[in-house]
């Protein structure tokens, strides 16, 4: 990765990023959220709504790998004994299966089960970082702060699912810790298209109260332009 910067055509305004201090953070692209029979579907959601984010994420992931950018994948899930799963989370609502119950892809939202794994299209390379998180935010009860500090990261390109839950929570946590966050609009998705839209609007409103929002095409163009100038 060179020390060069690129300017992303983002909202509410363009942002210049030093790529050497930027990481791509891919939130929870797990079978449990993306596929029938997983956690997302047990909550009554139409999981097909999330498929649209896969291609845009794949394109940015390929560019990040090409350029040597730090790539971080996250997975939401719990230890098999549920010791990191608050009863308030496990007992909430009326899902068809609860966290820890056996389902068609193994126990729902449990580390090590098939459903907890990342979808094949976006599977992490051995060299990439995978953060297991018990909460919605990627900073809570994880080593993410230490990892980002170790690599000198100041800026995050954030994508994944779902826009209004784990992406938003992570961006808010990151913003409070001083990271510049650019959320990739078409690289995020929600079971509720209106929540996706509002989730993005909340981030970029008020002069970018939590961060910036840009399309995958805008991010790729900024990365490509930098490469051409290098
Ligand atoms: C949810 C997530 N929606 N990854 N998790 O419970 O957004």
Residue whose CA lies nearest to ligand 1 atom number 4: 166
Residue whose CA lies nearest to ligand 1 atom number 5: 166
User: How would residue 227 be classed by pLDDT, with cut points 50, 70 and 90?
Assistant: confident
Q: Is the CB of 165 under 6 A from ligand 1?
A: yes
Question: Average pLDDT, stretch 166-179?
Answer: 98
More reliable by pLDDT, 196 or 3: 196
pLDDT at 228 over 90: no
Contact 127, 95 (CB under 8 A): no
C-alpha 172/C-alpha 54 separation (Å) is 23
pLDDT in tens, 41-94: 999 999 999 999 999 999 999 999 999 999 999 999 999 999 999 999 999 999
pLDDT in tens, 106-163: 999 999 999 999 999 999 999 999 999 999 999 999 999 999 999 999 999 999 999 9
Q: What is the pLDDT of residue 229?
A: 61
Quick one: tokens of 80?
A: 């098999």
pLDDT at 201 over 60: yes
Query: For the whole model, what pTM was predicted?
Result: 0.97
DSSP strand pairing (102-103 vs 106-107): antiparallel
User: How would residue 226 be classed by pLDDT, with cut points 50, 70 and 90?
Assistant: confident
Contact 101, 108 (CB under 8 A): yes
Q: Is the CB of 161 under 6 A from ligand 1?
A: yes
Q: What is the pLDDT of residue 112?
A: 98
């Amino acid at each position: 990765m060179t020390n060069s910067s690129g300017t992303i055509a983002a909202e509410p305004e363009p942002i210049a990023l030093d790529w050497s201090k930027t990481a791509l953070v891919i939130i929870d692209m797990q079978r449990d959220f993306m596929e029938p029979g997983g956690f997302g579907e047990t909550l009554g959601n139409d999981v097909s709504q999330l498929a649209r984010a896969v291609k845009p994420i794949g394109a940015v992931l390929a560019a990040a790998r090409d350029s040597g950018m730090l790539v971080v994948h996250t997975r939401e899930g719990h230890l098999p004994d549920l010791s990191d799963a608050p009863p308030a989370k496990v007992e909430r609502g009326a899902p068809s299966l609860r966290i820890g119950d056996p389902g068609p892809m193994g126990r729902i939202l449990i580390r090590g089960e098939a459903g907890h794994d990342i979808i094949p299209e976006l599977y992490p390379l051995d060299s990439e970082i995978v953060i297991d998180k018990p909460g919605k935010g990627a900073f809570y009860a994880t080593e993410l702060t230490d990892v980002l500090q170790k690599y000198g990261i100041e800026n995050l390109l954030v994508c994944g699912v779902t826009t209004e839950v784990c992406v938003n929570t992570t961006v808010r946590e990151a913003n409070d810790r001083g990271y510049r966050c650019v959320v990739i609009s078409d690289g995020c998705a929600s079971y509720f298209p209106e929540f996706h839209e509002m989730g993005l609007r909340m981030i970029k409103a008020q002069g970018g109260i939590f961060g910036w929002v840009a399309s995958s095409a805008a991010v790729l163009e900024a990365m490509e332009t930098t490469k051409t100038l290098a």
